[in-house]
Structure 1
């Protein structure tokens, strides 16, 4: 890794020894530079990734009704601009759990970074730090949580899947504390895996086995194939101290992840974790009061990107009721379906402190590594800034519920 960025973050790059050791294939930087929206970034990733890998990132559960609804539900919200407001000077800055961020877009925890790009979570954390926002590092990772924390320059949060052996929880939390993560996010909607039918058809349902079809698809995407091989090489030089995991080890992490989380587990984690605690995977107000009583500081309205139970509400549909139930006693975040700056604006108007994105930055990562993730954040930032100006909002604090209404009202 070379170069320093904001908050002590470093740009992720291979040392010369690695660059010279293997044949290179140019990253699709030109295509990425031409992207004007997140759909273009997704298309750049689709062209670079083998079809089974793209589907693993892009797909959802069962009939993908919730996956689709997460995006389309934003279209049922209309923005009512407020003219005659001086928006010459604007700011997207806000705070999340007391932590300043340059824009209200956070990077959600995901498990597919390794197949998108060899630098995986290191690149994502560094990109978030370079744009002064938060990356929520997941338990399922290709790099040690200490290395990812260092790449993020002390700005990252950590998402926790509880180990099946609960006696290991305390040691895990101690590692997260020692690494300097700012907040802990407990995911509660993965008692079992959702039905990922695209993966089953492609032969990429876990555990993944390299079948002829998958091998042929990979051979047809040489840039991705070379990158994937480079990621499997022991890295000398500046990256030699980084503790990367093999693909097999990463798969084993994923297979071990689903585990029902109980109220007793939540109480145990709250007792162990000294900082802000966030619960991710809430879709209704019924449990909110007890979550607050247990000492939760934040709630993420999330349906796991439509990858768990199909047929549940879109997160933007579920958001208002959760915000009402929280009643300002904790911070509420929205995760799912955000593809435009106007989507961010609508979520803020309905009470979200910030939004989280997953697939969009994985597509950026696949299309261009750290630069691709930064591109995604820049696109959303540009669109949000424009939407705020055109709707008459000079700051995030100016965005309120009166700004939006549902179609037909």
Structure 2
């Protein structure tokens, strides 16, 4: 077993173990992938201030996200098709998150269903939904989430239309994978993955097949998906979905100050500054560049979370220092899941936690809730001087 000391180690193992179709699904952005690359590259432009002769004993990374105690300000982000990265992947990721003490967010487009995850965990998890047209399906989805004791709904608000991801189209990405000469040849080199997948019955979108009207198999699913997303989405519709749920709501996909103000006015429990991992509007700013202006504008009214480009505990520290009350990791935990299953997700969390704790100490802090912008060195034009 190789020594794992950083997220990049898990990514290398992930690349070797998982079929190209699903590796590319996770490791891709839309169009030219400029925003996808900037999400990680822009973190490197922010530097940390080292402080010495400060008592570093008794450190804690514990805090809260929407009133929930967390071991560190990190949640597992909603990622579709996680069960194709590793057999029963959503269950494995949820169990790793529960054991570590951080929130897990199940995607509507998961392979394992809400009921599958609830049956294999003991604590409430969060559930992500899209803004779909079908009110009947949405009500039943919320009813299932309530029955599973989900403690919050994460509404994705930046997916009215789908950004084009070239690799997914060229790979013919689907779940289960379409069997072509190219995909079969690649999967033949991923024997351990294939054997795991043969051992599970969960290979379809568990929250949709058999639940959405007229969707009984993968063929009918593709036509339903093409029609399901609501291009006429507006703030009134988002408010209606919030009322339909009636519990804690996190709005994910905010990248502009004016949109953040609208979200805060709706009464969301939290908003997530996010560009969908660079998978929607290519050419948009990285999430970390937009974080500080949004925190300054609405941070006193609504809890501001952050998503996009986190690959280390130092990235978490920088986002928290910028004002985020919590952060989300997607690709970082998927690397671990694809590489080593549940143990890999745990390893990803351990790596990030150790980096966060050590870096916080070297910046002169013992409590993550006390960390502020004073630990950062940010370029003067970091948010940009745009005409």
Q: Secondary structure at the match of 1:313?
A: coil
Aligned partner (choices 47, 51, 74) of residue 78 of structure 1:
47
Equivalent pair of 1:140/1:250 in contact (CA under 8 Å): no
Q: Aligned residue for 1:248?
A: 218
Q: 1:78 to 1:57 in 2, by over 3 A?
A: same
The 5 Å alignment of 1:258-297 reads: 258-260=229-231, 261-297=233-269
The DSSP-based 3-state class of the residue aligned with 1:300 is strand
Q: Of the candidates 330, 335, 346, which is equivalent to residue 318 of structure 2?
A: 346
2:332 to 356, 360, 366: 360
| Alpha-carbon distance change, 251 to 346 in structure 1, aligned in 2, over 3 angstroms | farther
Aligned-residue offset at 1:344: 0.5
Which residue of 2 is the match for residue 392 of structure 1? 364
The answer (yes or no) to whether the contact 1:349–1:403 under 8 Å persists in 2 is yes
C-alpha separation in 1, matches of 2:251 and 2:6: 30
CA 1:243–1:183: 2 relative to 1, 3 Å: closer
Question: Do the aligned residues in 1 keep the contact of 2:84 with 2:175 (CA within 8 Å)?
Answer: no
Shift of 1:329: 1.4
Unpaired segments of 5 or more residues in structure 2?
210-215, 382-387
RMSD (Å), alpha carbons: 2.4
Q: CA deviation at 1:244?
A: 11
Aligned equivalents of 2:336, 2:352: Cα separation in 1: 12
Matched, 1:209 2:188: no
Structure-2 residue corresponding to 1:371 = 343
In structure 1, distance between residues paired with 2:239 and 2:202: 41
Q: Secondary structure at the match of 1:287?
A: helix
The 4+ residue runs of structure 1 with deviation greater than 6 A are 242-247
TM-score (norm 2): 0.90
5+ residue gaps, structure 1, are 1-29, 235-241
Distance 2:176 2:96 in 1: 30
Instruction: Judge conservation of contact 1:125–1:149 (CA < 8 Å) in 2.
Output: no
Q: Which of 134, 154, 171 is 2:103 aligned to?
A: 134
- Relative to structure 1, the CA distance from residue 359 to residue 254 in structure 2 (aligned partners, 3 Å threshold; closer, same or farther) is farther
The match for 1:116 among 65, 80, 85 is: 85
1:143 is matched with which residue? 112
Aligned to 1:238: none
Change (3 A) 1:292 1:156: same
| Secondary structure in 2 matching 1:186 | strand
User: Using the alignment, how far apart are the partners of 2:246 and 2:153 within structure 1?
Assistant: 9
- Equivalents in 2 of 1:356, 1:256: separation in Å? 29
Deviation at 1:364, TM superposition (A): 0.8
Helix, strand or coil at the partner of 2:263? helix
Deviation sequence 1:209-261 (CA, Å, 0-9, x none) = 32110110001111112122222479xxxxxxx99979938964765664333
Equivalents in 1 of 2:143, 2:107: separation in Å?
Answer: 16
Write the distance in 1 (CA, Å) between the matches of 2:36 and 2:284. 10
- Residues 162-311 of structure 1: pairs in structure 2 closer than 5 A: 162-204=131-173, 209-232=178-201, 248=218, 252=222, 258-260=229-231, 261-311=233-283
Q: Secondary structure at the match of 1:143?
A: coil
CA contact (8 A) 2:272 2:306 kept: yes
Q: Distance in 1 between matches of 2:47 and 2:202?
A: 50
1:66 paired with 2:44, answer: no
